[in-house]
Amino acid sequence: MENASGEGQTQSSTFVPSEEQPILITDKAVEAIKAAIQAEGEAGDGLRVSVVGGGCSGYQYNLDFEKESRMGDLTLSLDGVTIYVDPISAGYLKGTVIDYVSGLSGTGFKFNNPNAKRTCGCGSSFS
């Protein structure tokens, strides 16, 4: 994790992904998701985390509000926030730690994906 305060380091270094929880979302990211749902979503919305084709490296991360799970989704509940991940995306994301960072180079969600062989400069696409 590239985080000036060093937060998130411990969580990501001890995270062991499983079929039930392929990704880890840090406490800072959960708080940012809650704030986004309150500001832009509707009460009861969850967050869909997915991988879609595109971006400058072949695949890109996608975050979107979602009302309910779809058939086959993995559903995670983190401190009152529901996260939906489709099974195909879960394969690309297995072991990924999602953090929320704020710094000179920008503010936003940061994906630390051990499966990415290469990433682009913006950090939102990978191969």
pLDDT in tens, 16-38: 888 888 999 999 999 999 999 99
Domains observed in the chain: 9-114 (2.60.300.12)
In whole numbers, what is the pLDDT of the chain averaged over residues?
82
pLDDT value at 41 more than 90: no
For residue 91, give the H/E element and its range.
helix 87-93
Banded pLDDT at 117 (limits 50, 70, 90): confident
What are the structure tokens assigned to 33, written together?
């998701």
Asked if 23 and 93 count as a contact pair (C-beta separation under 8 A), the reply is yes
According to the model, what pLDDT value does residue 56 have? Answer: 63
Does the pLDDT at position 57 exceed 80? no
User: Which pLDDT score, from 0 to 100, does residue 8 have?
Assistant: 42
